[in-house]
Structure 1
Amino acid sequence: MKQLLVFILFAAIFCWLMFSPIYKHVLVIRQALLQQEVNYMLEIGASGQYGYIDGDMIAQSRQRLAAYGFNPSLLEYEVSATNGAEGGNAAAPLPRGEGLLLRLAYPYERLLDIDRLIGIDPPSAEARIGGRGIRMSEYVP
């Protein structure tokens, strides 16, 4: 009986040691892709041509991230501006010098549930990974 218990505990720890680094690597890659997308969208949105990040840009971003395996319906975008104006309004682009803020979040999707094997609680269902950034608008009317 004792040997069976030792075998089960050893098997659980062995599985965790084998697969945990892979899941952690996937988590790091997802977070990096989200931050890269935030940087790209801020670069385009804050350019002299736009001065905003609207719904069409967000829809294109969802498509780009879907190509990497993200579920587009779970992506959360939050666009704002440093002056309190709406950063996603194409009719009123942010003038030059105002900050355009973007926050992009995505759930963990039970990615770290394997950590339960060694007694570590995974992040809650409401927890999110993501990226955020700010860029000064270059739009001149």
Structure 2
Amino acid sequence: MKQLLVFVLFAAMLCWLMFSPIYKHVLIVRQAVLQQEVDYLLEVGASGSYGFISAAMQEQSRERLARFGMRPDDIVFELSTTSGAEASNPYAPVPRGVGIALTMSYPYENLFEIDRLIGLAPPSPSERMKATGMKMSEYVP
């Protein structure tokens, strides 16, 4: 009986040691891709040509992130400006000097379930990884 218990504990520990780097790598890549996409959208959206981040730009962003294995419907965008103006309206671009803030979030998707083998509680299903950025608009009417 004692040997069986040792075997089960050793097998659980071995599984955790083998697979924990994999899911942590996935987590790091997803976080980096989200931050890169936030930076890109802010660079394009706050440029002198646009002054906004439209729904079409957000949809293109979802398509790019889908290539990395993310589910497009689970990506959430939160746009705001320092002046309170709408940052997604292409008919009323944000003028120069006003900050555009963008936060993108995505769920963890059970990446930490294997941590249960060693007694760690994974994040709740409602928790999300987030990437945030802010850039001053350069649009001049």
CA distance in 1, matches of 2:39, 2:137: 13
Aligned to 1:130: 130
Separation in 2, partners of 1:38, 1:62: 11
TM-score, structure 2 normalization? 0.99
Corresponding residue for residue 110 of structure 2: 110
Q: Deviations over 1:85-105 (max 9, x none)?
A: 111111111100100010000
Match in the other structure for 1:91: 91
In 1, the alpha carbon distance for the partners of 2:73 and 2:18 equals 31
In the alignment, what sits opposite 2:22? Answer: 22
Report the CA distance between 1:21 and its aligned residue: 1.1
| Sequence identity (%) | 62
1:78 aligns with 2:74: no
Paired position in structure 1 for 2:49:
49
Q: What is the CA distance between 1:130 and its match in structure 2? A: 2.0
List, as ranges, runs of 4+ consecutive aligned residues in structure 1 with deviation greater than 2 Å.
Answer: none
Aligned to 1:61: 61
> What are the superposed Cα offsets for residues 13-65 of structure 1, whole Å, 9 maximum, x if unpaired?
11001100111111001000000000000000000000000100000000100
Which residue of structure 2 aligns with residue 34 of structure 1?
A: 34
- Alpha-carbon separation, structure 2, partners of 1:48 and 1:54: 15
**What secondary structure, in the 3-state scheme, does the structure 2 residue paired with 1:105 have?**
strand
Please, what TM-score do these two structures have when normalized by structure 1? Answer: 0.99
Q: 1: CA distance between counterparts of 2:9 and 2:90?
A: 58
Query: What is the RMSD computed on CA atoms of the aligned residues?
Result: 0.5
Distance 2:88 2:11 in 1: 52
Letter in 1 for 2:63: Q
